[in-house]
Structure 1
Amino acid sequence: MDSQDPVVVTEPRPGVLLITLNRPHVRNAIDQTLADAMDQALIRMETDPSLAVGILAGTGGHFCSGMDLKAFPTDGVPVVADRGLAGLTRARLRKPLIAAVEGAAVAGGFELALACDLITAADTAFFALPEVARGLVAAEGGAVRLPGRLPYHVAMEMLLTGTPLPAPEAARYGLVNQLTREGEALQAALALADRVQAHSRDAVLVTKQIVRDTRGLDDHTAYAVQDPLSTPVFATAAAAEGAYAFTEKRPPAWHR
């Protein structure tokens, strides 16, 4: 990698922003420069009306090895404002984000993947949270999110011992949406993004918001949060078009 190469590369495709971490010499470890660049890429994804979905990937055969430990003693954790590690782990993104995982998704790198809505992974990839071995805590989503994504004892083994979880095993637990051959996680993520953006954007955005805002609530409270968000969707032109398309046995013609 040339020293002048951007540490985050963004590539817009039809309806999709591909965000690629580009520090392959350190397995795409996150320093503050990368964190700030990724935050800007996520802001672009959120604010560009031509974009419906984001994909997060890494170069050099790896997703992300987490926080750059060489920089940590002097620079601290590379968070961005109130949006967490690399501007993602505590962000409230409206649009769906897909992680395309090859190789290592470790520590903060795994926490980035956990902050995404969907995950594709190569069958040679692996996930790990080894923070305890470094005298640290998986504080950017690992300890909070993982026990809700895996069986409790599996999650606790990862958190308390640092034991890696191979991608095929993660897929069996439902943590990975699509398992691919090595080198094909990105292609699978792009195909998944196309499936997402084939639908009404408003319906997709509201669905994601409902899931996020009602997590952990009892049913009564969850419906009280959901209904003001979902009710207006039923009165939209997109809802009518969806019904007409179904009855006329044709693909919907969404207005973007």
Structure 2
Amino acid sequence: MTPPAASPGRWSDLDRPPLNASALRRALLRPGGLWTSLDIVESTGSTNSDLSAKAPGLPEGAVLVAEEQTAGRGRLDRDWSAPARSGLFLSVLLKPDVPVQRWGWLPLLTGVAAATGLARAAGTDFSLKWPNDLLVKVGGEERKAGGILAERVGDDGVVIGIGINVTLREDELPVPGAGSLALADAISTDRDPLLRALLRSLEDWYGTWRAANGDPHASRLQEMYAAGCSTLGLKVRAELPGDRTLIGEAVAVDGDGRLVVTTPDGKDHPIGAGDIIHLRPGG
């Protein structure tokens, strides 16, 4: 007797297979390596919130991945959500033994690592929008396909959340003007090798930065970030804390990871926090 066919469920999209947890662990967890554990959950509100709650009892290098994230958070408490298995939604726990004043480089370091690792694995170019957005080109237009959120946990830890849109179609995008690897015509949208590439690149960059005691110049992090940052050279509007606004040209990323904006009066303004809008000529 033939059993009845299973009804299609939320996990049955054959174009979006689940991540292979055991294969990922075999590839990424090794003695002496950065990554010490890798857990995958089917669905959660926020991997950053979950990992932050567990962080006090975990060693550095814990990785939490969700197949679906229903209440993901970006900068400025913006929502970050996407269909199940349509992207990479993960958080990692780092405990950097470098001067705490250099920890502000961690989101930028993660951006460089994600952009370089994913570019190789996906076969598509990424650029960085200061401070934490990953952009791809869709039809010649730069669109946000990923974001990074770093949160301090306790006295010695930082949880870094990473969200990457992988197979989202135009009608699934969370906001108009967003992007995905699929829309950028990536050669590969297989999430297993993409996740391996991202975490290996992050391990390499973090190790180099840590070996340089967090020095962004000696580790070449400042140089690499500037080379990949599409914000530099553009006219921007900076929306700053306290309802302040600044308009000028983004000219550099300084040694503290701040964006330096030169206003029309010739003054340089280092910006450590704020929302940056790329303006078109005449904008």
TM > 0.5 between the two? no
How high is the TM-score relative to the length of structure 2? 0.32
Indicate the structure with greater strand content.
2
Indicate the structure with greater helix content.
1
